[in-house]
Chain A
Amino acid sequence: DAGVIQSPRHEVTEMGQEVTLRCKPISGHDYLFWYRQTMMRGLELLIYFNNNVPIDDSGMPEDRFSAKMPNASFSTLKIQPSEPRDSAVYFCASSTHKSSGANVLTFGAGSRLTVL
């Protein structure tokens, strides 16, 4: 398996533009997590899905952020409109309970977003 695949790896955009980040989880994993990492706030959980259904989106900062998982192999995180304070590295991670009985996360390489 190629692991968790995120795209784009880097994105530079201007304030007000729409940003879409993409994630392909590991095949067979039934949980998908989106995190945001900054120096100031560390790793923040934004939202997570189980079997493509959003379970907890309490970490989504505001209505400008939305996430979808239309099928088991694809998820998007959208920011519209983007603001400079959204600049961060966004990580996607997937997991399954089947082997360990707990969510052991496999992370993607991250998408580094810079909003000018």
Chain B
Amino acid sequence: SQQGEEDPQALSIQEGENATMNCSYKTSINNLQWYRQNSGRGLVHLILIRSNEREKHSGRLRVTLDTSKKSSSLLITASRAADTASYFCATGRDDKIIFGKGTRLHILP
């Protein structure tokens, strides 16, 4: 299916460390996005990378995309307590946006 699968399912790191989350998918895509969800809230868009791009940066976020391996990674550098949330990759094909099950990230003080 088009749905992305994030890895790991859960991640706990110390504040200040870098956090890396991975996403794999099965079909061809036009773009891939990453979203964050704080507990009890709606999802918030973080970054979009198109299928012809390999890497994008936005502040402390770095996203890579390898279409040959059908995988993406999200790196959050210098993590903060406020980064504690669930992170989802979303694959876009035509107009359809399909989400994975997410990675729960917990930043330890």
A42 to B5, CA, bound (A): 11
Q: Which of B28-46 contact A (CB under 8 A)?
A: 30-31, 33, 35, 41-45
Nearest A residue to B88 by beta-carbon distance? A43
- Majority SS of interface residues in chain A? strand
Chain B interface size range: 20 to 34
B62 interface residue per 8 A CB criterion: no
Q: Is the interface of B mostly helix, strand, loop or mixed?
A: strand
A91 contacts B42, C-beta separation under 8 Å: yes
Confirm or deny: B56 has a beta carbon within 8 angstroms of a beta carbon on chain A.
no
A-to-B contact residues, CB < 8 Å:
4, 31, 33, 35, 42-43, 45, 48, 50, 55-56, 91, 93, 100, 102-110
17 cross-chain CB contacts under 8 A: A33-B97, A42-B102, A43-B99, A43-B101, A48-B96, A93-B43, A100-B48, A102-B30, A102-B33, A102-B48, A102-B50, A102-B92, A103-B95, A105-B35, A107-B43, A109-B42, A110-B41
